[in-house]
């Protein structure tokens, strides 16, 4: 056979060599090859020559623009964000010798708690980080904010609108234009100021950067990027089981049946907005189960995935057809939770495919594409680690950790690529793994946590310690990449505490006469739909906010501004401050903050009127978050989501490590932006509430990597 092939190839080569001019062309196949390879060759040479020719002009232009760099004390600043990394736990593990790299960083520079925002919630805190200002200046107070007219919760960071004009063609309504995506966060990220001075920044997965803004550098958006369905993450669970929960929060349960060894099902994608009567687009798939062999074969859209029990598939490309050749692409991972006695298949939320993003998730747009070609498909959803699936016990802790660390690895690859590429400028990367894993595994640290009842307390008892160790390893590897005249900052937006008991503030408001339900309603309807607004004075929404039903501001407001409002505020403040848990006698609410006293800024009116500072162990209850009112104010939290940070900000500060020594032991998250600007010699703009940690009364000097010192005043270096 080989001989025949070899003879064939030789004959082919001879024939090709004997061809006359007219016969030399060998057809489209080879045409593709030669056209593309020579096009690439030509383009490379063209780019090379172009680069050489243009470089002197660019050099002069950049030199003129990078005037900030002349005054910079550093060539590069690297900020690593570990969402939710807690200072107390960090200290504990550091003292136990588990975090050698962070310990070394602390020894050479700084380690102290970092004051978070009020409320201590990631969207608010990271927005404050990137704008250097309090929430009243960036307008993000929580994940959700109430629509003042309808009381319905809306996402506080971004608004994805519909296309305003369409062209009707039969059953189709063809959009004329793109949907308008608005960033609701206000304020200017500090890397924009650096960019204005010609300083390049790489920003990876910083929360509340969707939709991405333009600046000099690259950015891939983080927390609040929706999934392909437009939600903040909706998983799907296909099961042959007829028992258990019929409905899931954060996910959809789809009952399926075996036909022999085969299951036929559909994966539901986004709604087809090209139809006059929009319906979700679907992709059919089949699963062939080999029960004795404990293998399942998933066949979807021409792809075949072989899966074992409790094994994740790689990212699978899903292409939803909207008609007229228009497709929307997403990616998802499949996971067989069990083969017997019931079959269960978990599918992650459908992430926007970064190779062909349906929405802008990066700046420039091609940066997301670039990353996908660099590291392959990667998680793009803001809340990439599917906490809901574990919370609803669709997957277990092991599967969750596997998924979370898989996302983490993708993020690491992005970070280390940027560290290689950006030799002068700013690199910021936020890892969410720390937040998600602590949310879901905190119960292992707390003996007697209600969520431990009937659950494993051994297998993953070191999950949080392992998490911190793993993050320490990242810091170690980053430190290896650091050179002289470079500064490393490792920080978090808030800390963590146990979430043992939930408080349903709305139930409390009903019991105390501040909220009234409609006649005949029990309050079981989600999103406060059973509330009689014409008789309600206050309501709780989101993770830390309490709002007054103010006349002229809320759709059906009844509380008059002035004395009535003041009296209500005082009354509620007195009653809620130090509120005791009626079951345990413990203090549930440690502090209540009045928005007008807490915030100064143009968006203070959008803030919750009162910000509730829960005590250690407490948080707003699950029912309260979803707007359900019942007769239980205090209840045990038995969900896997057993740790939280939506407490009194005073007891959940973040961490601040730096290779620099700073002028205070009480830095705040709003100080990071002015500090970085200062390091680059850029004056922080006046609107920033934070202050540079390099300024201050004491003589500023700091230790930086490799034993270098820098004088703040002169910028001179000495060994």
Q: Enumerate binding residues for other proteins (CB under 8 A).
A: 8-9, 12-13, 15-16, 18-20, 22-23, 25-37, 40-41, 43-44, 47-48, 51, 55, 58, 62, 200, 218, 302, 364, 366-367, 369-370, 373-374, 421-423
* Residues β-bridged to residue 400: none
Provide the minimum distance between the beta carbon of 222 and other proteins in the complex, in angstroms, as a whole number. Answer: 19
In sequence order, what DSSP letters do the residues of 333-376 get, joined into one string? -EEEEE-SSS-EEEE---EEPTTS-SS--EESHHHHHHHHHHH-
Provide the minimum distance between the beta carbon of 417 and other proteins in the complex, in angstroms, as a whole number. Answer: 10
Provide the minimum distance between the beta carbon of 32 and other proteins in the complex, in angstroms, as a whole number. Answer: 6
Provide the minimum distance between the beta carbon of 217 and other proteins in the complex, in angstroms, as a whole number. Answer: 9
Relative orientation angle of helices 87-95 and 463-481, to the nearest 10 degrees: 80
In the complex with other proteins, the residue whose CB is nearer, 188 or 220, is 220
In the complex with other proteins, the residue whose CB is nearer, 15 or 459, is 15
Rounded Cα gap, residues 584 and 273, in angstroms: 51
Rounded Cα gap, residues 192 and 228, in angstroms: 28
Provide the minimum distance between the beta carbon of 514 and other proteins in the complex, in angstroms, as a whole number. Answer: 54
| β 217-220/201-204 pair status | parallel
Rounded Cα gap, residues 235 and 254, in angstroms: 11
Buried b (16+ CB within 10 A) or exposed e, 571-607: ebeeebbebebeeeeebbbbbbbebeebbebebbebb
Give the residue among 680, 657, 668 at the shortest CA–CA distance from 476: 657
Provide the minimum distance between the beta carbon of 412 and other proteins in the complex, in angstroms, as a whole number. Answer: 18
Q: Would you call 499 helix, strand, or coil by DSSP?
A: strand
Give the residue among 378, 375, 403 at the shortest CA–CA distance from 389: 403
Provide the minimum distance between the beta carbon of 424 and other proteins in the complex, in angstroms, as a whole number. Answer: 8
In the complex with other proteins, the residue whose CB is nearer, 5 or 96, is 5
Provide the minimum distance between the beta carbon of 8 and other proteins in the complex, in angstroms, as a whole number. Answer: 7
In the complex with other proteins, the residue whose CB is nearer, 12 or 582, is 12
In the complex with other proteins, the residue whose CB is nearer, 126 or 367, is 367
Secondary structure element (H or E) that encloses residue 18, with its range: helix 2-18
Provide the minimum distance between the beta carbon of 45 and other proteins in the complex, in angstroms, as a whole number. Answer: 9
Contact 455/444 with Cβ under 8 angstroms?
no
Rounded Cα gap, residues 549 and 515, in angstroms: 10
Report phi then psi at 194, rounded to 5.
-65, -45
In the complex with other proteins, the residue whose CB is nearer, 111 or 191, is 191
Rounded Cα gap, residues 376 and 363, in angstroms: 18
In the complex with other proteins, the residue whose CB is nearer, 326 or 366, is 366
Relative orientation angle of helices 672-679 and 122-131, to the nearest 10 degrees: 30
Q: Would you call 394 helix, strand, or coil by DSSP?
A: coil
In the complex with other proteins, the residue whose CB is nearer, 52 or 279, is 52
Instruction: Read off the DSSP letter of residue 554.
Output: B
Provide the minimum distance between the beta carbon of 256 and other proteins in the complex, in angstroms, as a whole number. Answer: 28
């Amino acid at each position: 056979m080989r001989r025949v092939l070899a003879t064939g190839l030789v004959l082919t080569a001879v024939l090709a060599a004997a061809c006359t001019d007219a016969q030399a062309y060998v057809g489209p196949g080879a045409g593709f090859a030669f056209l593309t390879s020579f096009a690439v060759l030509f383009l490379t040479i063209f780019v090379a020559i172009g680069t050489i020719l243009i470089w002197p002009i660019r050099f002069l232009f950049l030199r003129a623009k990078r005037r900030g760099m002349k005054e910079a004390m550093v060539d590069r600043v690297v900020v690593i964000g570990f969402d939710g990394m807690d200072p107390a736990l960090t200290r504990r593990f550091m003292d136990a010798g588990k975090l050698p790299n962070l310990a070394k960083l602390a020894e050479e520079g700084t380690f102290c708690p970092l004051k978070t925002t009020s409320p201590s919630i990631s969207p608010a805190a990271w927005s404050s980080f990137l704008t250097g200002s309090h929430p009243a200046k960036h307008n993000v107070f929580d994940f959700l904010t109430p629509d003042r007219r309808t009381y319905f919760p809306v996402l506080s960071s971004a608004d994805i609108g519909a296309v305003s004009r369409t062209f009707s063609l039969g059953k189709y309504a063809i959009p004329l234009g793109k949907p308008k995506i608005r960033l609701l966060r206000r304020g200017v990220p500090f890397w924009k100021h650096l960019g204005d001075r010609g300083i390049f920044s790489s920003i990876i997965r910083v929360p509340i950067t969707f939709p991405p803004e333009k600046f000099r550098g690259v950015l891939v958006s983080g927390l609040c990027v929706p999934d392909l369905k437009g939600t903040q993450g909706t998983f799907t669970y296909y099961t042959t089981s007829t028992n258990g929960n019929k409905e899931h929060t954060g996910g959809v349960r789809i009952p399926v049946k075996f036909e022999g060894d085969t299951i036929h099902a559909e994966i539901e994608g986004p709604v087809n907005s090209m139809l006059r009567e929009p319906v979700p687009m679907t992709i059919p798939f089949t699963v062939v189960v080999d029960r004795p062999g404990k293998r399942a074969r998933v066949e979807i859209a021409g792809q075949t995935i072989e899966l074992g029990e409790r094994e994740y598939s790689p990212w699978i490309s899903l292409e939803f057809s909207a008609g007229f050749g228009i497709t929307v692409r997403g990616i998802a991972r499949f996971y067989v939770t069990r083969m017997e006695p019931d079959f269960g298949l978990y599918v992650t939320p459908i992430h926007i495919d970064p190779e062909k993003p349906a929405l802008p998730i990066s700046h420039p747009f091609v940066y997301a594409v670039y990353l996908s070609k660099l590291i392959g498909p990667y998680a793009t959803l803001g809340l990439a680690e599917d906490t809901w699936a574990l919370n609803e016990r669709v997957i277990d802790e092991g599967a969750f950790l596997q998924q979370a660390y898989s996302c983490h690895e993708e993020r690491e690859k992005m970070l280390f690529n940027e560290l290689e590429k950006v030799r002068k400028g700013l690199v910021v990367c936020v890892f969410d793994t720390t937040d998600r894993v602590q949310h879901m595994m905190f119960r292992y640290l707390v003996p007697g946590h209600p969520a431990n009842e009937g659950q494993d307390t051994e297998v993953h008892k070191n999950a949080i310690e392992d998490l911190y160790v793993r993050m320490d390893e990242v810091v170690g590897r980053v430190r290896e990449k650091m050179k002289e005249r470079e500064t490393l900052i490792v920080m978090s937006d808030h800390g963590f505490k146990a979430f043992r008991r939930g408080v349903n503030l709305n139930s409390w408001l009903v019991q105390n006469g501040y909220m009234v339900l409609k006649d005949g309603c029990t309050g079981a309807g989600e999103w406060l739909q059973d509330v009689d607004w014409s008789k309600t004075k206050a309501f709780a929404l989101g993770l830390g906010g309490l709002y007054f039903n103010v006349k002229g501001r809320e759709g059906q407001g009844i509380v008059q501004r002035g004395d009535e409002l003041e009296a209500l505020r005082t009354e509620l403040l007195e009653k809620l401050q130090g509120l005791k848990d009626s079951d345990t006698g413990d203090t549930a609410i440690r502090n209540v903050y009045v928005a007008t006293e807490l915030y100064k800024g143009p968006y203070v009116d959008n803030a919750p009127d009162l910000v509730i500072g829960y005590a250690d162990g407490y948080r707003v209850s699950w029912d309260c978050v979803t707007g359900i009112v019942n007769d239980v104010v205090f209840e045990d939290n038995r969900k896997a989501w057993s740790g939280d940070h939506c407490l009194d900000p005073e007891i959940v500060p973040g961490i601040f490590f730096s290779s620099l020594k700073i002028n205070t032991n009480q830095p705040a998250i709003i100080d990071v932006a002015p500090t970085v600007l200062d390091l680059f010699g850029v004056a922080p703009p006046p609107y920033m509430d934070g202050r540079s940690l390099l300024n201050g009364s004491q003589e500023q000097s700091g230790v930086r990597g490799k034993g270098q010192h820098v004088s703040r005043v002169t910028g001179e270096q000495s060994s």
